[in-house]
């Protein structure tokens, strides 16, 4: 009798056919992508180049179609030329004529407005033609690169024209860009509109920050290494700082930004998602259901400060110098009312009421026209309980820190104390630094590449579910309501701060109440 082998993972005789071989890329099946608002900056700067980059990497099938929908009076060839220019200017991967020719054969354009029944009927016929000529199989994704006020109208037109109804085994999916509403009530109304036409599993809410390689590396850093997880808790962490700083102003976005502000634009989505990934417990797997469940637990456990005056800050950039250039203040930007109350800087202190994080404050801040462009998550550790050194020997020693840099210099930095060479005992901060660009030869895909591929293959882990959206608004709404009351009753305006600085003095005062300071970036 032959001895029984030790049980192990089942192996496929052909590794190219083994779906568990993670070395193999995920390739989308036959499908067509329809982009509404295809003439906007997002489509030209990010979406169209991402489509080409996916094709160039071999991740789109030959049976792929790209349909643009906008008010321009273009033919298919005109849209193909616009796409060509966008690819040449913004694509991440090198331009290859053979890839472009194959992609261009499936490019179509539908002129029309969102209340134009005939335009959507024409879009339906165009997709039928692609199904027949390109073999796209009735699988259609609809990308709404349009202002949120148009979402309901487009969704209703998709239903009226029959575009939202899959036939047989085909699928239909809809992709919406943030913001998902402007408060909890509007988010629920928007969700009702979506669910009236598409089931939840077919709705993909894009937060492009979640597609960034370094954001996903937070999960790898935490759960693939035994080095960090044992100290990732209240016993060792003093506080956490999450920062998204921009060195630019509002540019040409006055129509969108004024009335929205920094808190709704960034804090409610990007920063709270980073907080959730930092504070969540280990999921049983990285599939969508398990990952979302752990993030939702964190968001539901967030506690606001009792004193919103003391532990929130809002500011508005004034004129100043940025990069050696004098720049105008927010109120002087084109399209901004001279009495605008919209904040360009927002900071808040939050706590996560879980066993792991009880008593550990999370400080979130975001702003425009700050000292430099940087996004990071920093865990600041408690000081050692006993230091057998004289004060003069540790005068230059700060707190240990673990910093995850999201952009622009993606990587991880660990700060700790080390003896300065010499006869005397002197301890000073030093850093160990891991940089993506130096450690990997592969270049990181753009966030929209990863997210768009996830849509086309139907993989939703990086897309927030409606429950996450509502929990995030439930956190921000009381803060926004408090600011609005102060503005109305006490005529309190956002605190001014000079362009090129690191925000208003009220943000520094908020940290000083706890005996802490913001990291200097």
DSSP sequence for 427-467: EEEEEEEEEHHHH-SSPPPPHHHHHHHHHHHT--TTS--HH
Sequence-separated (6 or more) residues with CB below 8 Å from residue 415: 398, 400, 401, 402, 403, 429, 430, 431
Q: Domain 25-177's class?
A: alpha beta
Please say whether the beta carbons of 91 and 49 come within 8 A.
yes
- For position 441, what pLDDT does the model report? 53
Nearest to 46 by CA among 177, 139, 149: 177
Question: Residue 426 region, left (φ>0) first, then alpha (ψ -120 to 50), else beta?
Answer: beta
- For position 393, what pLDDT does the model report? 54
At which residue do the structure tokens 């202002």 appear? Answer: 147
Q: Examine the residue annotation and report whether 270 is marked as an active-site residue of this protein.
A: yes
- For position 399, what pLDDT does the model report? 86
- Residue segments in the chain with a per-residue pLDDT below the cut of 70: 1-25, 386-397, 418-419, 422-426, 428, 439-444
- For position 21, what pLDDT does the model report? 43
- Of 76, 140, 270, 386, catalytic: 270
For CATH 3.40.50.720, the residue range(s) in the chain are 25-177
- For position 400, what pLDDT does the model report? 87
Please say whether the beta carbons of 479 and 510 come within 8 A.
no
For CATH 3.30.360.10, the residue range(s) in the chain are 210-445+465-512
| 210-445+465-512 classified as CATH 3.10.580.10 | no
Nearest to 347 by CA among 512, 459, 487, 113: 512
- For position 15, what pLDDT does the model report? 33
Nearest to 313 by CA among 519, 510, 521: 510
- For position 148, what pLDDT does the model report? 83
Please say whether the beta carbons of 348 and 267 come within 8 A.
yes
| pTM tops 0.85 | yes
Please say whether the beta carbons of 454 and 463 come within 8 A.
yes
């Amino acid at each position: 009798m032959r001895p029984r082998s030790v049980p192990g993972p089942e192996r496929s005789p052909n590794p190219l056919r083994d779906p568990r071989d993670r070395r193999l890329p995920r390739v989308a099946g036959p499908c067509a992508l329809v982009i509404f608002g295809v003439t906007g900056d997002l489509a030209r700067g990010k979406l169209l180049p991402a489509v080409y980059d996916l094709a160039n990497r071999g991740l789109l099938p030959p049976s792929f179609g790209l349909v643009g929908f906008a008010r321009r009076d273009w033919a298919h060839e005109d849209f193909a030329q616009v796409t060509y220019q966008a690819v040449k200017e913004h694509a991440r991967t090198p331009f290859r004529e053979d890839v472009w020719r194959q992609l261009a054969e499936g490019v179509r354009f539908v002129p029309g407005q969102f209340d134009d029944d005939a335009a959507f009927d024409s879009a339906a016929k165009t997709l039928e033609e692609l199904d027949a000529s390109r073999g796209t199989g009735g699988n259609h994704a609809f990308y709404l690169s349009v202002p949120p006020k148009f979402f309901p109208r487009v969704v209703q037109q998709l239903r009226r024209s029959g575009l939202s109804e899959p036939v047989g085994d085909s699928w239909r999916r809809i992709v919406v860009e943030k913001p998902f509403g402007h408060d909890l009530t509007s988010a629920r109304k928007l969700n009702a509109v979506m669910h009236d036409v598409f089931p939840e599993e077919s709705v993909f809410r894009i937060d492009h920050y979640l597609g960034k390689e370094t954001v996903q590396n937070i999960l790898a850093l935490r759960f693939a290494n035994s080095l960090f997880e044992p100290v990732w808790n209240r016993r060792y962490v003093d506080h956490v700082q999450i920062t998204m700083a921009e060195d630019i102003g509002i540019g040409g976005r006055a129509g969108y930004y004024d009335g929205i502000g920094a808190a709704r634009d960034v804090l409610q989505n990007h920063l709270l998602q980073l907080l959730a990934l930092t504070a969540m417990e280990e999921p049983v797997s990285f599939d969508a259901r398990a990952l979302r469940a752990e993030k939702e637990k964190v968001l539901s456990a967030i506690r606001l400060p009792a004193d919103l005056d003391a532990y929130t800050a809002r500011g508005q950039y004034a004129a100043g110098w940025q990069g050696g250039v004098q720049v105008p203040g927010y109120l002087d930007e084109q399209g901004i009312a001279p009495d605008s109350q919209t904040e360009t800087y927002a900071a808040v202190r939050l706590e996560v009421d879980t066993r792991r994080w009880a008593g550990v404050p999370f400080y979130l801040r975001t702003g425009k026209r700050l000292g430099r462009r940087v996004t990071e998550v920093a865990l600041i550790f408690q000081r050692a309980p006993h230091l057998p050194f004289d004060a003069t020997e540790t005068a230059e020693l700060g707190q240990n820190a673990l910093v995850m840099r999201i952009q622009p210099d993606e990587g991880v930095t660990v700060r700790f104390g080390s003896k300065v060479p010499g006869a005397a005992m002197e301890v000073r901060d030093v850093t160990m630094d891991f940089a993506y660009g130096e450690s990997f030869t592969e270049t990181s895909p753009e966030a929209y590449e990863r997210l768009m591929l996830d849509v086309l293959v139907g993989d939703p882990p990086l897309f927030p579910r409606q429950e996450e959206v509502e929990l995030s608004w439930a956190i921000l709404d009381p803060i926004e309501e408090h600011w609005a009351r102060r503005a109305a009753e006490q005529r309190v305006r956002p605190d001014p701060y000079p362009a090129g600085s690191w925000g208003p003095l009220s943000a520094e005062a908020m940290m000083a109440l706890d005996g802490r300071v913001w990291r200097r970036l």
